[in-house]
Structure 1
Amino acid sequence: MPTNCQNTSTDTLNLTTDHELNQSTAPETRSASNDKAVVVGLYGVPGSGKTFLLNQLEQELGQEHFTFYEGSKMIADVVPGGLDAFQKLEEQEKEHWRQFAIKTISKRCADDGKVAVVAGHFMFWREEEEAGRPVYTKSDLDTFTHILYLDFPTEVIAERRLNDTERSRPSISATHLRRWQQAEKTQLRHLCRHNNILFSLISLHPTLLNKVSTLLRDFRNQTEKYNLSQAQNRLDQVLLASQGQLETVLVMDADRTLAAQDTGALFWKSVSSSRLSKDEEYTLKTLFSGPLGYSYTAFRQAVLLYEETADDQEFDALCQDVASAVTMHPEFVSLLQLVTEQQHIGAVIVSCGLRRVWEKVLEREGVSKTVKVIGGGRVADGFVVTAAVKAALVARLRDEYQLYVWAFGDSLLDLDMLSKADQAIVVVGEEQTRSKTMDAALMDAIDNGGLRARQAVLPSNASPRLDATRLPLVKLTEQEFVDSILCRRSRHIGLQVHHATDRGAAKLLMTPTRDATIAGPALREAHRRVGWYLATEFLTDMIGVEEYPIPHVQGHYTVGYRLSHEQQTSIVALMRGGEAMALGVNDAFPLAMFIHASRPDNINLSHLQGQLAIVLVDSVVNSGKTVLQFVQHIRKLDATIRIVVVAGVVQAQSISVGGLAQALSTRTNLSLVALRVSDNKFTGRGATDTGNRLFNTTHLP
């Protein structure tokens, strides 16, 4: 806030002692995604040109969406008697009016929906003093969402101060201004990160006005919800080029997945050390390990760091240097080259890192025409990629586009994405470079979060993560693995329905179930036999059988057979009509888990953990609505587990039109088995209801 009165700053931040800093900068649980007024602080040492820039911005941006304030003028507006009266107040009273002023700005912005740009001072520092005298209020820390700092050469600022005829300023050397400026930058950057305030340095440049205007427009629009919508729009654009031919999509993380290198670390190493102070290097290294963690706000802050480091031309040159130092794993190069030859398979790189670097890497490998990168790094990209964005994009591919999704990742940021995919591959690098915190989180995701994944170790001589039971090993170059990716998965693969309607066995088994004179235990036994028949006749072929040793009557061991992974199969009786038939299925597969469920939420994550297949059993499927609700609920808990619906009778219409029919025709891991398919649309009630007949409750209303 340019003013001759050094004690009249209102909308300024203050750092005094370490004790006060610790008290005022405790991390708060707020983010840039909150519905909060956007208030941008404009700072710089006196003479840097804040007022001049503020006036330029007002002319450039107008006042439809923005409003502009100077701290000293705001004080004059809110304090009875103006600045003269304010100067005579005690410090405690000044504190009150400073807080009132910034709260007034915040309220106005919240009321009118405008972005406030507030010019002010951070500290005052006479050259004869050993340290500066910052001023702040707690309300400043609660109000500001962004701070832009005019980081101009101090020689330029010193000359401006000398030539300023509109106000009288004490003479200060460029050396002292440099020390003042560095103290402000260091303390402000630290303070902002501890209070969820985005911070950026603004360099003197011919396009200064355009750059700051662009930032302010971006600040106005950006929320976490808007960020996700922009990323989804980018995904939609990528898919548009496929013209609806895709059946399978590979979604890949980039850094330390496609290659062993971390391109972010390489970028900052490429930045000349003369361009960064020790403090700035420190903040770059500690951004994601600091109070912001891997939050949306932290990734937005990273973008601002990239913006302040280089202009567009310099940034592109640095990205080229980094890309030249990246060596993709040959296994991924081969896989992506294979994918480019297939019209039904697509691949997209979803990276939290630098989009431009990976575009250059893919271009060098000859796959950039078909493999696209969704990522950020610059404000112009329009969005940042967070862990939540990765997961949402995979879910969009799977649920909205009905595509079969393979996900590849290596770190904590990829776990949610891996959990949403149909197939999840954890890429494991050498021990000295891999994520040190991944093992515990990965184990928890597998044991408690329902993640079912495999691991690919690159290079092949690296040690695997966890163990081969929790995280089975796979080789990206094995033919079986490649074939599983390249196989056709048409979105119209044909109904996955198997039934015995015209078989003699079905005619015998269905007779007692349709006989009106049979009810109670006899009918339950008939349903039980149907369940056993369908299990042995159909499920053994669909799921497969495995060998195991059994004692022979002649005293030696011989080969026996049981359902493949029988202990990792769950049988769910849809109550109450499905219980008897489900018990018959359980007779055939005695090692399977047995679950009673009256509604979908009776099935929880513990019923699916470690399981490979789930069998839903009901006596009759009429419209298919109930079964579909169970399927959708299970899919939310586990996107990849195989689901088989077993029923005595299925109405033909339920598997020809509607939600269940669509699900059966689009998902390869969902199928239905029935004793018979009926064209009869009759739905039993009272004495004709199957459940009532099974349990002798036909007399109940």
Structure 2
Amino acid sequence: MSKPIINPQPKQSTDYRSAPNDNKPVVVGLYGVPGSGKTFLLDQLKEELGTEHFAFYEGSKVIATLVPGDLNGFQKLGELEKEKWRKLAIDTIRKECGESGRVAVVAGHFMFWSEEEEAGRPVYTQNDLDTFTHILYLDVLPEVVVQRLLHDTERVRPSTSITHLCKWQQAEKTQLRHLCRKHKILFSLVSPHPTMLNKVLTLLHDFRHHTEKYNLCQAEGRLKEIIAAGEGRLKTMLVMDADRTLAPQDTGTLFWQRVRSLSKDDTDPLKTLFSSPLLYTYTAFRQAVLLYEETVDDEKFDSLCQDVAASVTMYPEFVSLLQRVAGQEHVGAVVVTCGLRRVWEKVLEREGLSKEVKVIGGGRITDGFVVTAAVKAALVGRLQNANQIYVWAFGDSPLDLEMLSKADQAIVVVGQEQTRSKTMDLDLFNLIHDGGLRACQVVLPSCTSPRLDTKMLPLIQLTSGEFFNSILHCRRQDADIQVLHATHRNAAKLLMTPMRDATNAGPQLREAHRRAGWYLATEFLANVVDIEEYPIPHVQGNQTSGYRLCNEQQTLIVALMRGGEPMALGVSDAFPLAVFIHANHPDDIMLHHLQGQCNVVLVDSVVNSGKTVIQFVQHVRNLHATIRIVVVAGIIQAQSVSGGSLTQALGQVGLSVIALRLSENKFTGRGATDTGNRLFNTTHLP
């Protein structure tokens, strides 16, 4: 894994790409049963948008201008003749907008259905289906429609019952969804609401300029922002899929499960969408955005995303890897997801990673773009070509294959058999067999059976030293130890006094070390690891916010015996949920102590040359390459962390060191002056 792998260009799969048709004029249909307010909305839109970029058409009026004898003459024609004029009307609209470059908004009818008839009479034509790029359906309550028809003084329409209108609307919505997906037309319901006009205006502005080319530009713009924040230091980037890669869950499925529980609807809209003729194309992902838009407003969407994020549990191996990467200036990480950006931002925020790991994804019109398989691959290519950044890609499904093939190093994430992609094995086999991909696989959890065979797709471990070193390989020649200390602070002077006082020993000295450990934990360790918010009961009877160390329950405090125990107990006082163990030798820390953990805090009273710390850190790194390690000590010899043995030995793996005081004194205590002997009243022993 330490040598770069040069991958050939992958074969393109028509299942996951769509051929752009950016030259087709944008024509938006406004549909709804008679009385739903199409004409009224059309007039509002014309007033708000003007006619510079938009053109507005009432379908029946266009027909009236074309047919001899206007609408009266049209009504006397047979069905075949009517269809001919309807086709000519939409062709005229398409031609006008193609020449002017304006977006057409056309109000019309999908079907007519009198109450005496068993089924509705469709009045759309094949030319409509070939012309419309988007259709908005006014989903007005039948009760409201009936009232409007009763009070309409301009047109006389036959009376219609609420039951019949409901059946009529349902038939139109069902048939339109099916036809739109078959003919690659974006479809959305819009419901009467005080903000409906603004909603439709937002949609029309989006429809006007959004093409596959524009979409990629927007996604690349987001990537540029992330790269710019790295201030030119990034040499390596981890590009990660999200759903079923960083966690076993699929957030889209979880989202719609919650929506269905509120609406009592058993259908899965995303599953239905992606199994339609649209498959996983740009148009399909754009349609998914419209599904989210029509189902919930912004406030409810954010609430549902919060609920879904709370149900997502990231694999500890990825949490640990991303935490380690966050400490490297030259290595970055970005999540590129076809799913919901907002959910994954909330998940990363909960894990304390949101500052370092950004998310490129969509879900709402305001996001400006959707992520497709082609977008993922293009972003990897941009990192490599425009930014000269070495890319590691992580993915789990066929949607990730283009990205994996494009990357310098590809890691296939393999989840449990009941949740992993069912089509991935064949696609993966074919791509590897044809030479389009060389990759490794990681199985999560570790007991999971691998994909294919491990010769074709070798196994790796995210927490192994070899793997993490391969990420750092040739990208950075040195690394600084992060050193935090309180040497010149008044608090340190007060805390250090009883520790240095030769008259103190035994319980008094142990208590002084314990207080120092608590201070270093709250003042420095909480900043290195960060803190997280959680609910606690307030004395007034309500809930309020409390704070604790991020991943406190996944933190291991190691008391380096025997001198480090009192200070380690102080650290434990600050973080009571953390695991606490004693270690006389590095081998006392075993693999099972580190499994599922995010942080290791090694605590000693004094660090002189750093030899002991080096042995412990190297041992932990051999067991778990990516776990965060922090050394906490009362006194650290300054030279050991400024070019001395500690820096030379540990500079390549990264380390945070926290001290109450840095000392220029190279004195090493023995016998009566040894800190351990003073702590436990054994100064008289040889």
Q: Which range, TM-score by smaller chain?
A: 0.5 to 0.7
One-letter amino acid of the structure 2 residue matched with residue 167 of structure 1: R
Match of 1:178 among 154, 166, 175: 166
Going from structure 1 to structure 2, the CA distance change for 1:347 and 1:431 (only over 3 Å counts) comes to: same
- SS of equivalent to 2:28: strand
One-letter amino acid of the structure 1 residue matched with residue 107 of structure 2: A
Q: How does 1:428-577 map to 2 (within 5 A)?
A: 428-489=414-475
**Alpha-carbon shift at residue 137 of structure 1 (Å):** 1.2
1:559 is aligned to none
- Say if 1:230 and 1:383, in contact at 8 Å, map to a contact too: yes
Count of residue correspondences: 463
1:347 is aligned to 333
1:224 is aligned to 212
**Cα shift readout 1:512-539 (whole Å, capped 9, x = no counterpart):** xxxxxxxxxxxxxxxxxxxxxxxxxxxx
CA distance in 1, matches of 2:212, 2:86: 31
- Say if 1:31 and 1:297, in contact at 8 Å, map to a contact too: no
Match of 1:360 among 332, 335, 346: 346
Q: How does 1:49-60 map to 2 (within 5 A)?
A: 49-60=37-48
- Say if 2:392 and 2:409, in contact at 8 Å, map to a contact too: yes
One-letter amino acid of the structure 2 residue matched with residue 49 of structure 1: G
CA distance in 1, matches of 2:261, 2:41: 30
**Alpha-carbon shift at residue 274 of structure 1 (Å):** 4.9
CA distance in 2, matches of 1:121, 1:98: 11
**Cα shift readout 1:73-130 (whole Å, capped 9, x = no counterpart):** 0001111221122122222221111111100100111100011000011111112222
CA distance in 2, matches of 1:282, 1:265: 8
CA distance in 2, matches of 1:285, 1:419: 26
Q: How does 1:554-633 map to 2 (within 5 A)?
A: none
Q: How does 1:312-351 map to 2 (within 5 A)?
A: 312-351=298-337
One-letter amino acid of the structure 1 residue matched with residue 393 of structure 2: A
- Say if 1:415 and 1:442, in contact at 8 Å, map to a contact too: yes
**Alpha-carbon shift at residue 284 of structure 1 (Å):** 3.7
One-letter amino acid of the structure 2 residue matched with residue 112 of structure 1: S
Question: Is 1:82 aligned to 2:62, yes or no?
Answer: no
CA distance in 2, matches of 1:226, 1:33: 12
- SS of equivalent to 1:322: helix
- SS of equivalent to 2:137: strand
**Cα shift readout 1:457-491 (whole Å, capped 9, x = no counterpart):** 00111100011111000000101101111345159
- SS of equivalent to 1:287: helix
**Alpha-carbon shift at residue 276 of structure 1 (Å):** 6.3
1:138 is aligned to 126
1:46 is aligned to 34
- SS of equivalent to 1:372: strand
2:409 is aligned to 423
Alignment TM-score, normalising by the size of structure 1: 0.65
1:128 is aligned to 116
One-letter amino acid of the structure 2 residue matched with residue 297 of structure 1: T
Question: Is 1:374 aligned to 2:360, yes or no?
Answer: yes
CA distance in 2, matches of 1:378, 1:287: 17
Question: Is 1:99 aligned to 2:80, yes or no?
Answer: no
**Alpha-carbon shift at residue 244 of structure 1 (Å):** 0.6
- Say if 1:58 and 1:68, in contact at 8 Å, map to a contact too: yes
2:11 is aligned to none
1:108 is aligned to 96
Match of 2:297 among 311, 314, 334: 311
Question: Is 1:406 aligned to 2:392, yes or no?
Answer: yes
Going from structure 1 to structure 2, the CA distance change for 1:348 and 1:382 (only over 3 Å counts) comes to: same
CA distance in 2, matches of 1:284, 1:472: 33
CA distance in 2, matches of 1:385, 1:247: 24
Q: After the TM superposition, which of the residue ranges 387-396 and 154-163 deviates more from structure 2?
A: 154-163
CA distance in 1, matches of 2:51, 2:259: 38
- Say if 1:31 and 1:196, in contact at 8 Å, map to a contact too: no
1:594 is aligned to none
1:396 is aligned to 382
- Structure 1: gaps of 5 or more residues: 1-26, 493-701
One-letter amino acid of the structure 2 residue matched with residue 403 of structure 1: I
CA distance in 2, matches of 1:32, 1:127: 43
- Say if 1:344 and 1:488, in contact at 8 Å, map to a contact too: no
One-letter amino acid of the structure 1 residue matched with residue 332 of structure 2: G
CA distance in 2, matches of 1:449, 1:156: 61
1:187 is aligned to 175
- SS of equivalent to 1:314: helix
CA distance in 2, matches of 1:65, 1:447: 51
One-letter amino acid of the structure 2 residue matched with residue 316 of structure 1: D
Q: How does 1:237-316 map to 2 (within 5 A)?
A: 237-275=225-263, 277=265, 281=267, 283-316=269-302
- SS of equivalent to 2:135: strand
- SS of equivalent to 1:152: coil
- Structure 2: gaps of 5 or more residues: 1-14, 479-686
1:158 is aligned to 146
2:517 is aligned to none
Question: Is 1:70 aligned to 2:58, yes or no?
Answer: yes
- Say if 2:415 and 2:444, in contact at 8 Å, map to a contact too: yes
One-letter amino acid of the structure 2 residue matched with residue 60 of structure 1: E
**Cα shift readout 1:42-95 (whole Å, capped 9, x = no counterpart):** 011111100000000011111111000011100011112211221222222211
| Higher RCO, 1 vs 2 (CA within 8 Å, ≥6 residues apart) | 2
One-letter amino acid of the structure 2 residue matched with residue 130 of structure 1: E
**Alpha-carbon shift at residue 273 of structure 1 (Å):** 3.9
Alignment TM-score, normalising by the size of structure 2: 0.66
Q: Calculate the aligned-residue CA RMSD, in Å.
A: 1.7
